[in-house]
């Protein structure tokens, strides 16, 4: 399948390492954020979300950190696996607004 | 599979032809969204429905683009008089009333205009 990752920032890690993917968002009014994973030729897959009244949220092997002061979001993946290789997008929205605005995306490459 | 489904998965057409894509949302979701994604970019919002009402369509790319959701279940996106610049992945997403901003995406329809 064709890659969605052309011309994207790329993070290359070894299997078992921890990965950190960063995202700067633009709208200070945004109060809800989602991280999506997109594999080549597939639609974005929901990973984890966070609301602006939190600064950290944990899921299975993933943690999202939110810094509203500098409008920065990060996704941490623990013990990265080859199956984590994909393009990761952050998306933002705000209460009363129904659409998501996506960031540029980061390609994560995990080598065995 | 109870996720969002889209058909066809791939569509190749000649410039000037009309194409129609279908999206079936998650069954209990009353909101349905259409996005377009070009290579190397994040999805770009086009339009959305709440039940059968189209609540936002100003972001449709031109008047050649139209969408319907006649019975508040599946939706169709039509592009008339296709142009090579319409080549992209067209994504559908849905969400529920209780978590309106948590959108779940389908696999997309890849359109290639020759």
Give the tens place of pLDDT for each residue, B24-70. 999 989 999 999 999 889 999 999 999 999 988 888 888 999 999 99
Judged by CB atoms closer than 8 Å, whether chains meet at A46 and B102 is answered as yes
Judged by CB atoms closer than 8 Å, whether chains meet at B40 and A5 is answered as yes
Predicted local distance difference test score (pLDDT) of residue A6? 52
Q: Could you say which of B56, B105, B110 has the minimum Cβ distance to residue A99?
A: B56
pLDDT bin (cut points 50, 70, 90) of residue A110 is very high
Q: Could you say which of A93, A99, A104 has the minimum Cβ distance to residue B42?
A: A104
Give me chain B's average pLDDT, please: 93
Predicted local distance difference test score (pLDDT) of residue A97? 76
Predicted local distance difference test score (pLDDT) of residue A7? 66
Contact present, B44 and B21 (Cβ < 8 Å): no
pLDDT bin (cut points 50, 70, 90) of residue B10 is very high
The answer for A54, left when phi > 0, alpha when psi is -120 to 50, beta otherwise, is beta
Whether residue B8 is preceded by a cis peptide bond, meaning omega within 30 degrees of 0, is yes
| Per-residue pLDDT at A98 exceeds 90 | no
Q: Give residue-wise pLDDT tens across range A3-45.
A: 344 568 999 999 999 999 999 998 999 999 999 999 998 999 9
Judged by CB atoms closer than 8 Å, whether chains meet at A2 and B39 is answered as yes
Q: How far apart are CA A38 and CA A55, in angstroms?
A: 24
Judged by CB atoms closer than 8 Å, whether chains meet at B102 and A101 is answered as no
B38 contacts: CB under 8 Å, gap ≥ 6: B44, B88, B89
> Buried b / exposed e across A2-18, counting CB within 10 Å, b at 16+?
eebbeebeebebeeeee
Report yes or no: B53 at the A interface, CB cutoff 8 Å. Answer: no
Minimum Cα–Cα distance from B33: chain A residue: A99
Contact present, B8 and B108 (Cβ < 8 Å): no
């Amino acid at each position: 399948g064709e890659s969605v990752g052309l011309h994207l920032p790329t993070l290359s890690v070894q299997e078992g390492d921890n990965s950190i993917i960063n995202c700067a968002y633009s709208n200070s009014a945004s109060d809800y954020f989602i991280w999506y994973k997109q594999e080549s030729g597939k639609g974005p897959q929901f990973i984890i979300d966070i609301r602006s009244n939190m600064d950290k949220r944990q899921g299975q092997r993933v943690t999202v950190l939110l810094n509203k002061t500098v409008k920065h979001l990060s996704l941490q993946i623990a013990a990265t696996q080859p199956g984590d290789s994909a393009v990761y997008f952050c998306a933002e929205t705000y209460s009363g607004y129904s659409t998501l605005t996506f960031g540029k995306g980061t390609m994560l490459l995990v080598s065995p | 599979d109870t996720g969002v489904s889209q058909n066809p998965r791939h569509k190749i057409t000649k410039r000037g032809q009309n194409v129609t894509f279908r999206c079936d949302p998650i069954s209990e979701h009353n909101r349905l969204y259409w996005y377009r994604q070009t290579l190397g970019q994040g999805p770009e919002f086009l339009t959305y429905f709440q039940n059968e009402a189209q609540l936002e369509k100003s972001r449709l790319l031109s008047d050649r683009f139209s969408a319907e959701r006649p019975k508040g279940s599946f939706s169709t996106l039509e592009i008339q008089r296709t142009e090579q610049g319409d080549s992209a992945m067209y994504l559908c997403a849905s969400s529920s009333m209780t978590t309106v901003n948590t959108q779940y995406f389908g696999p997309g329809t890849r359109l290639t205009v020759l």
